[in-house]
Structure 1
């Protein structure tokens, strides 16, 4: 086995024994249990296990720290393996397959929120049969509800994300042509636009004329747009890491999967936002009372 690792006669990479899959699984389990404990703590309930009440917020954050540390350490090992020349053509291809499958799973994640939104909006009379909070008055948006102006801050954020898609493509193009300065400048602009999007959405949330608990409209709106905003934050961090690596000279025109994965993820975030803007902001506000109008 040691000889197979030292002198491989194939294009595959035999990964050294690693603690990260096990530690990541432990962290995910602790985070899941800790999340339940945290919710019980917030509502003043108990979560007894073996005679101990573990309804507190600390277990969740401990699990989260384990997961974050595992992500950092595991990806650091992956970058180290790339520098050592283990990412052959076949390995790089399979890394791309893995990223494609991950994005596909994210697509299905958002399908669930779009499904919930369209189920409630296309059949508003049926939605209110299941919960008092889902009262709609038989119309969508629910009767008496003011909605956000889609051609104000939402349109502004749409322009921001479209611009960020352009700048990350510029960075990718510069990388392929060995233009390190263009790569760094493109990433700086993309990270800045990502942060600007998050700030605008936070401002929009703080001034929204409806709340999460007010109606099924608010619930579906904040779940869909909120999870998208969370993905924007993750994507911004992803690109920020790529910026630091680009400044260190990690990427080359032939070996830059880390940046390519970040760019794919960012374009995915862009496309999801276009669907959100068209359906939840524009279509759903048709005929509704617009805030401030």
Structure 2
């Protein structure tokens, strides 16, 4: 959290009213509204998304800067530290529920919806349907003619497996950095943090290349039936979390270089580490369920 002494902090620090939540909501509006227009073939939606992302980045820079200044100013007591820990835990729990809903949608489609459409009850409704997963793969008859273009699925090798190795390695390097911070080895902590950030950036680069390969070579698109929509929903949502986690780790690394955090008080570091390990665990489930099963 901070390098300051909590003994001089108020009983429970309450920050002054802030405009940042409202400003952040404006940026998110442009992102979501632009994304909706973009996927519906309105080219200007891309510019709305970019504007919203830049707006959000600027607001977060100001917001996090104020939070760091409060911590380094000795305003945060042990009670605030406990509040931060509970808040981060509940935030990660809410993220778990997001992914549980998405994995649940995939489970329902594979185990219930597709077999139901292939049952005798639906023979008159869809006589040529074959209850296969995924639907509309090359050479299969699993969708009405012209509804979904044939595509090929994304296998686990090589990019998804490489990405798995990258994320697992980043979890190890982050843990090494944490132990170095506890031991008071700041230079070693910074080195391992930069390695972790680099691994996150490489993961994102591989994910972007995988999407280009899927779209260009496999004809796998967001419109490729339930398989395509769940594939991009799960991998894209996870990729967004990797991006956020990488930015969080980058901010923590910069703060370490400025002398923030001590071996005794460093919840800012721990909170980012919790988030990153959560991203690792989600990817393992995604890797086996989406790419192997």
**If the length of structure 1 is used for normalisation, what is the TM-score?**
0.79
Query: Aligned match of 1:257 in 251, 263, 267?
Result: 267
2:220 corresponds to 1:211: yes
Cα 1:96–1:224 change in 2 (3 A) is same
Map of 1:1-293 to 2, 5 A cutoff? 11-36=11-36, 42-43=41-42, 60-123=49-112, 124-126=114-116, 137-142=130-135, 144-145=137-138, 146-208=152-214, 209-212=218-221, 213-283=223-293
Q: Which sections of structure 2, spanning at least 5 residues, go unmatched?
A: 1-7, 139-151
Cα 1:136–1:269 change in 2 (3 A) is farther
For 1:62 and 1:202, the matched residues in 2 are separated by: 21
Q: Deviation of residue 186 (structure 1)?
A: 1.2
For 1:251 and 1:18, the matched residues in 2 are separated by: 25
Q: Deviation of residue 218 (structure 1)?
A: 1.4
Q: Deviation of residue 137 (structure 1)?
A: 2.5
Cα 1:205–1:66 change in 2 (3 A) is closer
For 2:129 and 2:100, the matched residues in 1 are separated by: 23
SS at match of 1:250: coil
Q: Deviation of residue 37 (structure 1)?
A: 5.5
**If the length of structure 2 is used for normalisation, what is the TM-score?**
0.79
For 2:198 and 2:117, the matched residues in 1 are separated by: 40
Q: Deviation of residue 279 (structure 1)?
A: 0.8
Q: Which sections of structure 1, spanning at least 5 residues, go unmatched?
A: 1-7, 45-54, 284-293
Q: Over residues 100-130 of structure 1, what are the superposed CA-to-partner deviations in whole Å (9 max), with x where a residue is unaligned?
A: 111111111112221221111113234688x
For CA contacts below 8 A with separation 6 or more, give which structure has more relative contact order.
2
